[in-house]
């Protein structure tokens, strides 16, 4: 009801935003690039630079730079991601069977995603295609993956996103964190901690270790669940399922309580890409590539991901080390797309677990268009996936195959393997070539956050143009930029976390490059202001 | 029932000096000495659910690599704190104690942090020579601590160091 009542108001707000940007809101192809003019300023003369470095509550390092003119009008907005480019050096020269363990060390937040993508790739190196994997191995890997997605999404929503959503983007910064949530919404905060813990316990039971598990190996798995392990996980899954349903209801309530704002904030109209089952249903572990355009039309469907090189290319831009993937058939300007929860829920025809499917239908019904483009709706989609994971875990725990010892298959050696999965943040590609001695000679990884690079930049520009233009910069205003980025839950491949290494720094730089003001938030939360020329 | 003493090492073994704490833990577990009453855990980074690992403990020692370490290693007593770290994917030990207090409504167990001096964190790097030397000294120090796993004794040692 709330959603329906707010739709009319939302349409008015959306039209206002489009009019503000000088764009016909009915023409989606023009809206796609509505903030591109802010990627590069015509001239940097007489502009001052504002840097938010690093962006907090995202994994690793991110930096937003804004070039402002004397009247504080935004003339350029960019998100720089300090992406680690050492994957290949780290992997090449190692025997292929080490890969599932080795690649877990690429990232402190989604090691299981890398583990499974690498395992799928090396299955092919030993001549085993995904459809031939023993059913027990396939189901155990899926169970592991559902545990991973559940814990990762839970961490993001409850710990990183809920403070903004429940307190407000411009609420007191001292309260806008998980401690504030635990104090004012203790039940919600505790659910977040316990759902995260449960996902980690699924990983521990399937892999045998809290971290660095070695369960997925070339051609299958090296252990199944014992009855005791299965029963241990069954004890709490009913509660987790209930909390997942409550979380979906909560995000719907939050989103619909201010629908025009939530549907407009940082919103961009993009294409979407991800894996789907052969039936068109949501798929997280193995399927074909589907891409839909911004109006819901199919761009490509059920494509074999082993041909990803013929579907996706990556563009290089001079101002950032991070690449910009795009659909080759549409070209670099029109072919950029989004991946992750919003993309997956948008591209699939259904979800094959009943509660999540009902939630998906509810989600889709709240919009006026075939696709939901609201960037903040990513949180809603993410929690629908949490519900799907909880239902799927429950189903798999009742499947006798997860206790089976028929776990391994070997075929004829091949020299090339490609593994693709839907990681929590989106489609993840692992591609390896080996020599006659089983040593990796070539590796290529496209991580989910790279696929969302253009989309995150577009969202940053939309927020900069809508909320920052012509106003004095304040912490709440800058948090709006971070809220937009955080919706994508970017993982910047930074597992390192040395104490005292990551202050938040805000600098004002004039046209000559001189720092005229600096605000530093140390890792202990202390704020320090210093004038460079003082 | 968990062991009364928890040693929690944070770090990625494949990121240069970030491997310091996991390596120290490995040394302890492989040493001839036995550590009754101690549990050793490690993870890449601390997160909210690790607050549940602190339940029913008498004493907790966090070990981590640090660039701002004064000397080869540095021991400090932790107090629960609402610092900025819980706004990232990794939490500080002090913030974790605060999460513990928030979810249990109880005072957390006495927590100490051992920082080990580090300088390089690139993926695929081995330990720097500087970190190797620090690891040796820090390992001997932790062994001496674990021989007397008592918060009062550790506080006294801290007072002596500060003096």
For the segment A93-126, what is each residue's pLDDT rounded down to a tens digit? 999 999 999 998 887 778 899 999 999 999 999 9
Residues B1/B38, Cβ–Cβ less than 8 Å: no
The reply to whether residue B83 touches residue A108, judged by beta carbons under 8 angstroms, is no
Higher pLDDT, A516 or B129: B129
Average pLDDT estimate for B33-62: 93
Backbone phi, psi, residue A383, to 5°: -75, -25
- A495 contact B CB<8A: yes
With 90 as the cut, is the pLDDT of residue B160 above it?
no
Please judge whether A210 and B41 are an interchain contact, meaning their C-beta atoms are less than 8 angstroms apart.
yes
The C-alpha atoms of residue A169 and residue A480 are separated, in whole angstroms, by: 6
| Cα atoms in the 13 Å half-sphere on the side-chain side of A411 | 17
Model pLDDT, residue A52: 56
For residues A199 and A50, state if they share a domain. no
How high is the mean pLDDT of chain A?
A: 83
3-state helix, strand, coil in chain A (%, to 5): 45, 20, 35
pLDDT at B93 over 60: yes
Give a yes or no: residue A328 inside a domain.
no
**Count of domains for chain A:** 2
Do A146 and A218 lie in one domain? The reply is yes
Asked if B12's CB is within 8 angstroms of A105's CB, the reply is yes
Please give the share of chain A, as a percent, with pLDDT higher than 70.
78
Residue A193 has its nearest CB partner, among B49, B88, B124, at B49
> Is A179 in the B-facing interface, judged by CB distances under 8 Å?
yes
Query: What CATH number is attached to the domain comprising B41?
Result: 3.40.50.1450
3-state secondary structure at position B109: coil
| pLDDT for residue B85 | 60
Q: Is residue A384 located within the same domain as residue A251?
A: yes
Number of domains in chain B: 1
Confirm whether A351 is domain-assigned: no
On whether residue A154 sits in a domain, the answer given is: yes
Q: What is the domain extent for residue A467?
A: 32-82+455-530
List the single residue in B with minimal CA-CA distance to A90. B124
CB-nearest to B82 from A56, A179, A192 is A179
Give the residue from A170, A87, A46 showing the smallest Cα distance to A447: A87
| pLDDT at residue A5 tops 70 | no
Assess if residue A53 is contained within a domain.
yes
- Indicate whether B16 pLDDT > 80: yes
Instruction: Look at residue A510 and tell me if it is in a domain.
Output: yes
Check residue A499 and give its pLDDT.
Answer: 41
Shared-domain flag, residues A179 and A241: yes
Give pLDDT tens digits for A519-531. 555 544 455 555 4
For the cut 60, the answer to whether the pLDDT of residue A498 exceeds it is no
CB within 8 Å: A108 and B45: yes
Q: Comparing C-alpha atoms, which of B55, B122, B39, B96 is closest to residue A106?
A: B122
CB contact under 8 A, A196 and B92: no
The CA distance from A87 to the nearest CA of chain B, in Å, is: 8
The confidence band for A77, taking pLDDT boundaries of 50, 70 and 90, is confident
Q: Which of A509, A475, A517 shows the shortest CA–CA distance to A49? A: A509
Q: Which among B68, B82, B123 has the least Cβ separation from residue A499?
A: B68
A398 and A473 fall within a common domain? no
pTM of the model: 0.88
pLDDT of residue A49: 59
- What is the extent of the structural domain holding B132? 5-162
| Higher-pLDDT residue of A315, B110 | B110
Q: Are A381 and A345 in contact (CB under 8 A)?
A: yes
Residue of A86, A109, A501 with shortest CB distance to B124: A86
**Same domain, yes or no: A44 and A192:** no
Nearest CB to A182: which of B14, B89, B99?
B99
Q: What is the CATH number of the domain that holds A383?
A: 1.10.645.10
Is the domain of A166 the same as that of A75?
no
**Residues A138 and A213 both lie in one domain:** yes
Residue A297 located in a structural domain: no
Contact B103 A186 (CB under 8 A): yes
Residue range B38-56: mean pLDDT, rounded: 93
Q: Does A183 touch chain B (CB under 8 A)?
A: yes
Same domain for A252 and A145: yes
| Distance in Å, alpha carbon of B147 to nearest chain A alpha carbon | 27
Q: What is the pLDDT of residue A15?
A: 42
A160 touches chain B (CB under 8 A): yes
Cβ-based neighbour number of residue A416 at 10 Å:
13
Least confident of A237-251, A273-287, B21-35: B21-35
β-bridge partners, A439: A95
Contact map slice: A 101-120 vs B, CB within 8 A: 102, 105-106, 108-109, 111
Q: Which residue of B has its CA nearest to A189?
A: B103
8 Å CB contact of B15 and A177: no
Q: What confidence tens digit (pLDDT) does each residue in A381-427 have?
A: 999 999 999 999 999 999 999 999 999 999 999 999 999 999 999 99
Helical (H) or strand (E) element with B40:
strand B38-43
CB A158 within 8 A of CB A196: yes
CB contact under 8 A, B18 and A211: no
Residue A267 domain-assigned?
Answer: no
Query: What pLDDT is stored for residue A510 in this prediction?
Result: 54
A519 to chain B, any CB pair closer than 8 A? The answer is no
């Amino acid at each position: 009801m709330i959603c329906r009542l707010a739709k009319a108001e939302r349409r008015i707000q959306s039209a206002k935003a489009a009019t503000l940007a000088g764009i016909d809101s009915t023409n989606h192809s023009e809206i796609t690039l509505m903030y591109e003019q802010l990627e590069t300023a015509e001239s940097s003369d007489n502009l001052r630079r504002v840097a938010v470095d690093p962006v907090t509550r995202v994994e690793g390092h991110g930096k937003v730079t804004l070039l402002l003119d004397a009247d504080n009008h935004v003339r350029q907005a960019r998100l720089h991601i300090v992406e680690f480019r050492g994957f290949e050096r780290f992997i090449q020269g190692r025997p292929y069977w080490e890969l599932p363990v080795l690649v877990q060390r690429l990232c402190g937040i989604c090691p299981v995603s890398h583990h499974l993508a690498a395992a799928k790739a090396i299955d092919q190196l030993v001549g085993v295609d995904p459809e031939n994997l023993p059913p027990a191995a396939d189901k155990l890997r899926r169970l592991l993956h559902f545990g991973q997605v559940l814990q990762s999404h839970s961490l993001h929503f409850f710990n990183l996103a809920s403070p903004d959503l429940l307190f407000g983007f411009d609420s007191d910064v001292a309260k806008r964190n998980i401690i504030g949530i635990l104090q004012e919404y203790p039940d919600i905060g505790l659910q977040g901690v316990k759902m995260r813990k449960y996902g980690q316990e699924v990983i521990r039971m399937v892999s045998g270790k809290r971290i660095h598990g070695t369960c997925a190996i070339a051609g299958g798995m090296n252990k199944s669940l014992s009855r005791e392990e299965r029963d241990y996980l069954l004890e709490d899954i009913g509660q987790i399922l209930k909390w997942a349903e409550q979380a979906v209801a909560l995000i719907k309530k939050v989103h619909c309580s201010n629908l025009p704002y939530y549907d407009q904030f940082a919103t961009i109209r993009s294409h979407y890409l991800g894996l789907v089952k052969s039936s068109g249903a949501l798929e997280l572990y193995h399927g074909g590539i589907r891409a839909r355009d911004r109006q819901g039309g199919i761009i490509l469907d059920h494509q074999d991901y082993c041909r990803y090189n013929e579907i996706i290319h990556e563009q290089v831009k001079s101002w950032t080390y991070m690449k910009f993937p795009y659909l080759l058939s549409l070209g670099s300007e029109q072919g950029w797309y989004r991946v992750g929860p919003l993309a997956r829920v948008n591209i699939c025809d259904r979800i094959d677990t009943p509660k999540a499917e009902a939630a998906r239908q509810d989600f889709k019904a709240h919009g006026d268009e075939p696709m939901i483009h609201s960037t903040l709706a990513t949180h809603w989609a993410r929690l629908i996936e949490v519900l799907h994971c909880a239902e799927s875990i429950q189903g798999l725990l009742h499947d006798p195959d997860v206790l089976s010892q028929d776990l391994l298959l070997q075929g004829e050696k091949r020299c090339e393997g490609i593994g693709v999965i839907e990681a929590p943040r989106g489609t993840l590609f692992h591609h390896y070539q080996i020599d006659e001695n089983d040593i990796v000679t070539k590796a290529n990884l496209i991580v989910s956050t790279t696929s969302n690079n253009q989309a995150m930049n577009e969202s940053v520009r939309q927020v900069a143009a809508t909320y920052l233009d012509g106003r004095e910069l304040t912490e709440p205003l800058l948090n709006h930029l971070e809220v937009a980025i955080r919706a994508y839950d970017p993982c910047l491949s930074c597992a390192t976390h040395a104490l005292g290494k990551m202050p938040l720094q805000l600098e004002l730089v004039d046209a000559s490059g001189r720092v005229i003001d600096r605000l530093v938030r140390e890792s202990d939360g202390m704020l320090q202001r210093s004038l460079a020329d003082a | 029932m968990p062991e009364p003493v928890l040693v929690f090492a944070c770090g990625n073994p494949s990121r240069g000096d970030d491997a310091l704490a996991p390596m120290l833990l490995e040394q302890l577990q492989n040493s001839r000495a036995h550590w009754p009453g101690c549990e050793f855990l490690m993870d890449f980074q601390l997160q909210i659910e690790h607050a549940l690992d602190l339940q029913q403990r008498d004493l907790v020692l966090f070990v981590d690599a640090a660039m701002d370490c004064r000397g080869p290693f540095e021991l400090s007593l932790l107090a629960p704190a609402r610092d900025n770290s819980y706004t990232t994917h990794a939490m500080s030990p002090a913030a974790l104690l605060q999460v513990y207090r928030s979810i249990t409504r109880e005072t957390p167990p006495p927590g100490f942090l051992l920082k080990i001096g580090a300088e390089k964190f690139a993926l695929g790097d081995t330990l720097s020579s500087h970190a190797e030397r620090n690891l040796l000294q820090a390992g001997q120090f932790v062994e001496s601590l674990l021989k007397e796993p008592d918060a009062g004794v550790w506080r006294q040692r801290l007072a002596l160091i500060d003096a």
